[in-house]
Amino acid sequence: MAEINLTGVTKNYGSLEVIPPLDLTINDGEFVVLVGPSGCGKSTTLRMIAGLETITSGEIKIGGRDVTDLRPGLRNCAMVFQSYALYPHMSVRDNIGYGMKVRGVPKAEANTAIENAAQILNLTEYLDRKPAALSGGQRQRVAIGRAIVRDPDVFLFDEPLSNLDAKLRVEMRVEIKQLHRRLGTTMVYVTHDQVEAMTMADRVVVLRDGRIEQAADPITLYQRPVNRFVAGFIGAPSMNFLDGRLSEENGEIFFQGPGKLRFAVPGDRKRALSPFTGDACTLGIRPEHTLENDPAAPGVEIEVLDIEPLGPHTLLIGEADGVKFTGQVSSATRAEPGDRKTIHLDTSKMHFFHGSDGTAIR
C-alpha cells in the first residue's frame, strides 16, 4: 500500500508562510496532479513529500509509515525532475542502472531490472547510446527508467515535460498515463499546465497560495468549479466573466450585466439564485459554450481585437464594454479587428458566482 497522507503540513521560510496547514490524502495507485499558478506551492508540496524540503509542522505518512523526519533515500519515492539530470558520458544502460550500482545491487539483478524498464519505455534499442544521441522525449524516458528500477512506492514528477516541444509533450503525456496503468503505482505530478492536469489525472488538486481550492476528477472541475478562481484556471481558453447584478421582477430572476446584457435566468436556476437578488453577481461562460447565431439567446456585443483560427473553429477575442470576452464561432466566420459582433450565450451552460467572495452559486 502506498497511500500518502499529509496532515496539517505547513512550510515557513522564516516569517513567511508559503504552505498554510495542508491536509491531503492520495489514495494507493492514484494518479494525482497538483496544479496552480506559479508560486502556489505545488512544487514545495511535492518536495516535502519527497523529503527534499523539511516541513515546519504537521505529519507525512506514506503507506501508513510516518516519514516526516526520514531523509529522502528512506522514503522509497522516486522523483523525476524537469531537467533530465543524465550523465552525458554514460550510456542509457548505465544511466538507468547507476543508482543500483551505487547501492551494490548484484549485476545480474540490475541488468534484469534495466532490461525490464527499457522494454516498458521502448528504450531497448537505445541502451548503448549516449544521451546526446537521443531526442528530448527519449531522454525523459531514460530519467523515468532510472526511477522505475528503484521499484518505488511512489513516483513524484516535478514538471517533467516543461522542456519538450508541443508534439513531444502530447506523446509523453500518453506514455506516462500508459506507464501508470501498467505499474499501478501511486503517482503525484506537478504542472502549471492545466491541459496536462486535465488529460492525465485521476484527480486534480488546484492550489492557490498554498491552499487547496478544489480537489476532484477533471470533469467535475470543468463542469462544477467551486469558485471563480477554479473556473478561470481550468479550461482553455479560460472562462469569460461578466460582472453584474441579480434582480427579481414578476416572479422572474434577471441578470443585468455590462452594456445591454439583460436576461431572465433559466427556470432551473431560479431557486439557487433567488436568495441573492439585489446582490452583485458574476456570470461565467466558457468560449465553447457561446453561440454564433441564436437570436433567442442573450447576446454580448464585442469589439473584435483578434482572431484565432484553429481549424475546426475560430476564436474571436474582443471586449464587451471594457471587459475581455472570447467567443467560439465556426471556421467559416469572417471577422477583422475592429468589427463588432454579437456573441450569444448558451443559458444551460452558465455559471454564477457570488460577487463578494467568488464562490459558486448552485
Percent of the chain with pLDDT over 90: 82
Question: What distance in Å separates the CA atoms of residue 213 and residue 202, rounded to the nearest whole number?
Answer: 17
Question: How crowded is residue 316: how many other Cβ atoms within 10 Å of its Cβ?
Answer: 24
For every residue of 125-142, DSSP letters joined together read GGTTS-GGGS-HHHHHHH
Over residues 298-344, the pLDDT tens digits come to 999 999 999 999 999 999 999 998 899 999 999 999 899 999 999 99
1 falls in which pLDDT band (50, 70, 90)? low
Question: What distance in Å separates the CA atoms of residue 154 and residue 49, rounded to the nearest whole number?
Answer: 10
In DSSP terms, which residues pair with 343 in a beta bridge?
300
Question: How crowded is residue 198: how many other Cβ atoms within 10 Å of its Cβ?
Answer: 19
Do residues 168 and 135 touch, judged by C-beta distance below 8 A? yes
Amino acid at 197: A
**Across 99-114, average pLDDT:** 91
Q: What is the pTM of this model?
A: 0.92
Q: Which three cell numbers stand for residue 193?
A: 499546465
Amino acid at 13: Y
Q: Which three cell numbers stand for residue 357?
A: 467572495
For every residue of 19-34, DSSP letters joined together read EEEEEEEE-TT-EEEE
